[in-house]
């Protein structure tokens, strides 16, 4: 079975830890409902999240795919190195999100350091794994515990400030979704009520810095645009915006044609915002050259996604760690089979539907 689902790495994995390209090992966790691969040598990224019944990987894969580790260091700028290493999937962004910046005498790279670090395996069993790493740009130890429970992945993430200084950071998650799961008429729902367009690069359809109700917005022509419905690949669109005023920290994407969906749940105390990114064959030039078809809703401590230095200048705050403090969060992601609209996700991975009695586990649509 091809656990990666990208169409680029034609691999049949029989061992839980396998080198898939030079210098990059993947750790595979699997049960009867889902298969997940973690990139041990590259950020502890969730590289694939596959529905076993259909074989569909819900996560995006970049046009250049997963590259050997030696290719990551060739760029002069940290954004060049991040893009060279970016295979798609789901990253942890810490201590920065967006542009490289200088904080407390250190250079915080584009999208932070955690997503580029090698990680160590602490423990591994049939249903879960624990990995850890230490950062250099900030004195942080990070521990990530993954556990599979039916169609749900539970991530327990703890971050420890190993210094005597108080430190403030951006802390975000970057799950991106793509084809074959993502297609025209996929439906997005979220526990948010408002949307704020990025003030520098809002994309093709929103006025810079404009504020809207979610999900129906007013586009640059003054017309209504429903951002909860994914456009097809022949309908170019680029969006960078921020979901705010969350009642509950969740989002979902449902593919009505496949009867397959994915939902995430997170603590809004740590992640009160979510970045909304859509790239539909719209952005010319590097790095996409109109090649990407992707959507992401990214739980975040801080906006805008322009680096922490810029966020501070604009009056935004991050997550403060006192001396020797540990903070812990739990994020759950679940795959479900339904064509119904999602209205919420409860602890444990149970998804609530608008007109259904489904419990969010793998059940056929009624």
- On whether residue 13 sits in a domain, the answer given is no
- On whether residue 347 sits in a domain, the answer given is yes
- On whether residue 7 sits in a domain, the answer given is no
Q: 179 exposed, middle or buried (CB, 10 Å; 0-12, 13-18, 19+)?
A: middle
Q: What is the number of structural domains in the chain?
A: 1
- On whether residue 365 sits in a domain, the answer given is no
Summarize the confidence of residues 300-311 as an average pLDDT.
98
Mean pLDDT (the chain) is: 92
Query: In this model, does residue 313 exceed pLDDT 90?
Result: yes
- On whether residue 22 sits in a domain, the answer given is no
Angle at 126 between CA 124 and CA 132, to 5 degrees: 25
Query: In this model, does residue 204 exceed pLDDT 90?
Result: yes
pLDDT, tens only, 142-193: 999 999 999 999 999 999 999 999 999 999 999 999 999 999 999 999 999 9
Output DSSP code: residue 329. Answer: E
CATH number of the CATH domain containing 240: 2.70.98.10
Report the range out of 21-35, 64-78, 301-315 with the highest average pLDDT.
301-315
Query: In this model, does residue 13 exceed pLDDT 80?
Result: no
- On whether residue 195 sits in a domain, the answer given is yes
- On whether residue 96 sits in a domain, the answer given is yes
| Backbone dihedral region for residue 88 (phi beyond 0: left; psi -120 to 50: alpha; all else: beta) | left
- On whether residue 54 sits in a domain, the answer given is no
pLDDT for 15: 65
* Residues of the domain holding 107: 59-353
């Amino acid at each position: 079975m091809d656990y990666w689902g990208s169409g680029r790495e034609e691999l049949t994995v029989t061992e839980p830890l396998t080198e898939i390209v030079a210098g990059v090992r993947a750790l595979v966790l699997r049960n009867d409902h889902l298969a997940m691969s973690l990139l041990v040598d590259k950020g502890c990224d969730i590289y694939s999240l596959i529905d076993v019944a259909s074989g569909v990987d819900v996560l995006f894969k970049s046009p250049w795919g997963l590259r050997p580790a030696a290719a990551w260091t060739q760029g002069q700028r940290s954004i060049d190195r991040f893009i060279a290493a970016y295979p798609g999937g789901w990253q942890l962004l810490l201590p920065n999100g967006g542009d490289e910046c200088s904080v407390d005498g250190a250079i915080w790279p584009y999208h932070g350091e955690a997503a580029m670090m090698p990680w160590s395996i602490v423990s591994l069993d049939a249903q879960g794994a624990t990995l850890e790493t230490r950062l250099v740009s900030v004195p942080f130890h990070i521990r990530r515990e993954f556990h599979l429970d039916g169609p749900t992945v539970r991530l327990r993430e703890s971050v420890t400030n190993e210094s005597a200084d108080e430190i403030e950071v951006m802390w975000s998650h970057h799950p991106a979704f793509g084809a074959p799961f993502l297609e025209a008429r996929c439906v997005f729902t979220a526990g948010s009520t408002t949307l704020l367009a990025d003030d520098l690069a809002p994309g093709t359809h929103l006025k810079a810095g404009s504020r809207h109700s979610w999900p129906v917005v007013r586009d640059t022509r003054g017309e209504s645009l429903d951002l909860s419905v994914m456009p097809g690949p022949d309908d170019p669109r680029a969006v960078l915006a921020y979901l705010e005023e969350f009642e509950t920290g969740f989002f979902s994407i449902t593919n009505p044609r496949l009867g397959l969906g994915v939902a995430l749940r997170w603590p809004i105390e740590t992640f009160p915002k979510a970045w909304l990114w859509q790239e539909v064959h719209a952005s010319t030039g590097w790095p996409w050259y109109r090649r990407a078809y992707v959507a992401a809703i990214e739980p975040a401590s801080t906006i805008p996604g322009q680096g922490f230095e810029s966020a501070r200048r604009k009056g935004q705050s991050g997550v403060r760690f006192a001396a020797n403090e540990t903070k812990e969060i739990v994020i759950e992601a679940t795959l479900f089979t339904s064509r119904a609209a999602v209205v919420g996700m409860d602890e444990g991975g149970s998804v609530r539907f608008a007109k259904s009695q489904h419990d969010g586990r793998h059940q056929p649509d009624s």
